[in-house]
C-alpha cells in the first residue's frame, strides 16, 4: 500500500513539475530505476529516483549510479548513501530501504544545482531501464567549481531565501544553513542586548552570526498582549538593525497558547508583512512552542490563518511553523502539513533531555518531505539549564545531524544569567565585545557558528 501510494505520487509530481521520466521499465528480470523531477526552480531542481525490484525474488540491496553534465552538481540527497567521484554519482541503499520484495519499490531524492539530468543510469550494474549496461563512458572532466561568494554580509551573499526540497536555498538555488542566536524573551531581557545594532554587528563579525531571532513574549505580564506598543517597537528595532547589519531576522511570536489569541497574531503578522515582507532579511515564526494540543484541530488551523494573513502581503518570505509538544512533534505535522509555499517547521531540542529519539522524529519528518528549522536549542536540560549543566557530546550529535540535513538554527538565548543557555556573564556590555563574557554553553555555540 505504501509503495503504491509512493509511486503514484511521484508520477503525478513529475507530470505537474514538467519532469521527465527518462527510462521505462521493460524486462521483468532485474531491478529498474525511474528518474523524475519533483520540483524545478529554473537553475536547479529536486529529483527523485524510484527503484523497483522487477525480479520474482526479494533483493537485499541496490545501488544506482549515474553521471551529470559538468554544469550540474548534486548538492544534497536523502534516503540513500551518496558517494561522488567527479561528475559520477553513486547512491546505495541505507539500512532500512535495501530489502525489496518482488515487485516492491522504494525511492530516494536529491537536489541538483543546474538543469542537467542523469545520464548513463545503472542499477546494480545494469541499465536502469532493465536492458544491457550503457556503453557510453562517463565524462572524466570534473565539474567546474563555482564557489559561493564569501564576501559581503549574509544577506548580500544569499539574498532572498526559499524552501527547496527539505532544506533552504539562497537566491541562486544553493543550499544555505543559517546559524545564529535567539534573543531572550524580549519582555524579560536584563538589558536590551538584542536591540543593539553595535552588538549585532559585533556578533556578525566575531561569531559569524547570520541570523538573529526576536523572541517576542506574548502571554506573560508586560509582554505583547499587555503592552503591544513596547513589544512591537522592540521587534521593529531588531528588524531595522538586521537590515543595517545585513543579517536575517526571525520574528517569533513567543507563545505557548497562541490559539487563544489568534486574532491578535493575525493582525500583528499581517501588519508586519505589509511593512517588512519586501525585505529578504525577514523570516516569520508565528508560534514558538505549542503545548500538547492537537495539531489537526488546534495548531494547524491557527497556522493556516496566520499564513494566510502573511501571504496576503508577502508572497514569498519563509514562515517557520511551531509543532506540538514544545515544537518536538514534527512527525505529526508531517502527516498533515499546512498548505502553502516556503513553509518550514520548528524543531526544538535541549541536549541533556533530548537525543536520538527526537532526532528520529526529525528524520521521519524529513523523509516525509518537511523542511525543518531549529529556532531554539541548548546544550542543557529542557528548562534551559537551571542546574547549570551542559551536555556537549549529545549537543555535538545534534550539531552534526543539523549540518548533515542542512538545518538552520538559532541557539537559546542572548542574556546574562545563571542558566546554561544564558550566553553572557555579568558585566557584558550591551554593545558587544563579549570575548571575555561567554557563559554556559556559549563557547560551544560560538564555535559552531564560526
Ligand atoms: Mg517577501
> Separation of 346 CA from ligand 1 center, angstroms?
20
Residue 42: predicted pLDDT: 67
> Separation of 429 CA from ligand 1 center, angstroms?
34
Residues 6+ apart with CB under 8 A from 256: 219, 288, 289, 290, 291, 326
Mean pLDDT of the chain: 89
Active site residue 285: no
> Separation of 106 CA from ligand 1 center, angstroms?
37
> Separation of 47 CA from ligand 1 center, angstroms?
26
> Separation of 318 CA from ligand 1 center, angstroms?
8
Q: How far apart are CA 183 and CA 192, in angstroms?
A: 10
Q: How far apart are CA 246 and CA 267, in angstroms?
A: 27
> Separation of 270 CA from ligand 1 center, angstroms?
12
Q: What is the DSSP string of 234-279?
A: HHHHHHHHHHHHT-EEEEEEE-S-GGGGHHHHHHHHHHHHHHHTT-
> Separation of 350 CA from ligand 1 center, angstroms?
32
Tell me the pLDDT tens digit for each residue of 321-379.
Answer: 999 999 999 999 999 999 999 999 999 999 999 999 999 999 999 999 999 999 999 99
- pLDDT tens-digit profile, the chain (450 residues): 333 333 323 333 333 333 344 443 333 447 889 888 866 666 777 788 999 988 888 899 999 999 999 999 987 776 788 999 999 999 999 887 889 988 888 888 887 888 899 999 999 988 898 765 555 555 555 555 555 556 799 999 999 999 999 999 999 999 999 999 999 999 999 999 999 999 999 999 999 999 999 999 999 999 999 999 999 999 999 999 999 999 999 999 999 999 999 999 999 999 999 999 999 999 999 999 999 999 999 999 999 999 999 999 999 999 999 999 999 999 999 999 999 999 999 999 999 999 999 999 999 999 999 999 999 999 999 999 999 999 999 999 999 999 999 999 999 999 999 999 999 999 999 999 999 999 999 999 999 999
Residue 13: predicted pLDDT: 35
Catalytic-labelled residue, pool 65, 189, 285, 376: 376
Residues 6+ apart with CB under 8 A from 139: 67, 69, 70, 86, 87
Name the residue with cell 524545478.
Answer: 40
Q: On the CB side of 337, how many CA atoms lie within 13 Å of its CA?
A: 21
> Separation of 39 CA from ligand 1 center, angstroms?
21
Determine contact, residues 355/377, Cβ cutoff 8 Å: no
> Separation of 271 CA from ligand 1 center, angstroms?
13
Alpha helices in 382-424 (DSSP H): 392-405
Q: What is the DSSP string of 139-171?
A: P-SPPPP-PPP-SS-HHHHH-S-EEETTEEE-T
pTM of the full structure: 0.69
Name the pairing type of β-strands 372-378 and 343-350: parallel
Active site residue 376: yes
Strands in 63-67's sheet, in edge-to-edge order, are 81-85, 88-92, 63-67, 119-123, 126-127
> Separation of 313 CA from ligand 1 center, angstroms?
8
Catalytic-labelled residue, pool 189, 195, 285, 289: 289
Name the pairing type of β-strands 343-350 and 88-92: unpaired
> Separation of 363 CA from ligand 1 center, angstroms?
29
Nearest-CA neighbor of 78 among 117, 42, 46, 101?
A: 46
> Separation of 445 CA from ligand 1 center, angstroms?
29
> Separation of 173 CA from ligand 1 center, angstroms?
17
Name the residue with cell 550539531.
Answer: 399
Sort residue 295 into left (φ over 0), alpha (ψ -120 to 50) or beta: alpha
Residue 95: predicted pLDDT: 82
Amino acid at each position: 500500500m505504501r509503495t503504491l501510494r509512493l509511486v503514484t505520487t511521484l508520477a503525478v509530481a513529475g507530470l505537474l513539475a514538467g519532469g521527465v521520466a527518462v527510462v521505462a521499465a521493460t524486462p521483468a528480470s532485474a531491478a529498474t530505476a525511474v528518474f523524475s523531477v519533483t520540483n524545478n526552480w529554473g537553475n536547479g531542481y529536486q529529483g527523485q529516483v524510484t527503484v523497483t525490484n522487477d525480479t520474482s525474488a526479494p533483493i537485499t540491496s541496490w545501488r544506482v549510479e549515474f553521471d551529470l553534465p559538468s554544469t550540474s552538481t548534486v548538492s544534497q540527497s536523502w534516503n540513500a548513501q551518496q558517494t561522488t567521484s567527479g561528475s559520477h554519482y553513486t547512491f546505495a541503499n541505507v539500512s532500512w530501504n535495501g530489502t525489496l520484495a518482488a515487485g516492491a519499490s522504494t525511492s530516494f531524492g536529491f537536489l541538483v544545482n543546474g538543469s542537467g539530468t542523469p545520464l548513463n543510469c545503472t542499477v546494480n550494474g545494469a541499465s536502469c531501464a532493465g536492458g544491457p549496461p550503457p556503453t557510453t563512458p562517463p565524462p572524466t572532466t570534473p565539474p567546474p567549481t563555482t564557489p559561493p561568494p564569501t564576501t559581503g554580509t549574509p544577506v548580500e551573499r544569499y539574498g532572498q531565501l526559499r524552501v527547496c526540497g527539505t532544506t533552504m536555498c539562497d537566491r541562486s538555488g544553493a543550499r544555505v544553513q543559517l546559524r545564529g542566536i535567539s534573543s531572550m524573551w524580549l519582555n524579560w531581557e536584563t538589558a536590551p542586548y538584542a536591540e543593539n545594532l553595535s552588538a549585532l554587528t559585533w556578533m556578525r563579525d566575531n561569531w559569524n552570526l547570520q541570523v538573529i531571532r526576536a523572541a517576542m513574549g506574548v502571554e506573560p505580564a508586560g509582554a505583547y498582549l499587555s503592552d503591544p506598543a513596547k513589544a512591537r517597537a522592540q521587534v521593529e528595532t531588531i528588524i531595522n538593525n538586521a537590515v543595517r547589519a545585513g543579517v536575517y531576522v526571525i520574528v517569533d511570536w513567543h507563545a505557548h497558547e497562541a490559539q487563544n489569541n489568534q486574532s491578535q497574531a493575525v493582525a500583528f503578522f499581517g501588519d508586519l508583512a505589509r511593512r517588512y515582507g519586501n525585505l529578504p532579511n525577514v523570516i516569520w515564526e508565528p508560534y514558538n512552542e505549542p503545548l500538547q494540543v492537537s495539531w489537526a484541530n488546534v495548531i494547524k488551523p491557527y497556522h493556516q490563518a496566520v499564513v494566510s494573513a502573511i501571504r496576503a502581503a508577502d508572497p514569498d518570505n519563509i514562515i517557520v511553523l511551531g509543532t506540538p509538544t514544545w515544537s518536538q512533534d514534527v512527525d505529526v505535522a508531517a502527516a498533515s502539513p499546512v498548505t502553502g509555499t516556503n513553509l518550514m517547521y520548528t524543531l526544538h531540542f535541549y541536549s541533556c533531555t533530548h537525543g536520538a529519539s527526537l532526532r528520529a522524529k526529525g528524520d521521519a519528518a524529513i523523509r516525509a518531505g518537511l523542511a525543518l528549522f531549529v529556532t531554539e536549542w541548548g546544550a542543557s536540560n529542557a528548562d534551559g539549564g537551571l542546574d547549570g549543566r551542559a551536555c556537549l557530546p549529545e549537543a555535538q550529535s545534534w550539531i552534526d545531524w543539523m549540518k548533515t540535513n542542512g538545518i538552520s538554527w538559532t541557539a537559546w538565548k542572548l542574556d546574562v544569567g545563571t542558566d546554561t543557555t544564558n550566553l553572557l556573564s555579568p558585566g557584558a556590555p550591551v554593545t558587544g565585545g563579549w570575548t571575555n563574557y561567554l557563559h554556559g554553553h556559549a563557547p560551544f555555540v560560538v564555535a559552531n557558528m564560526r
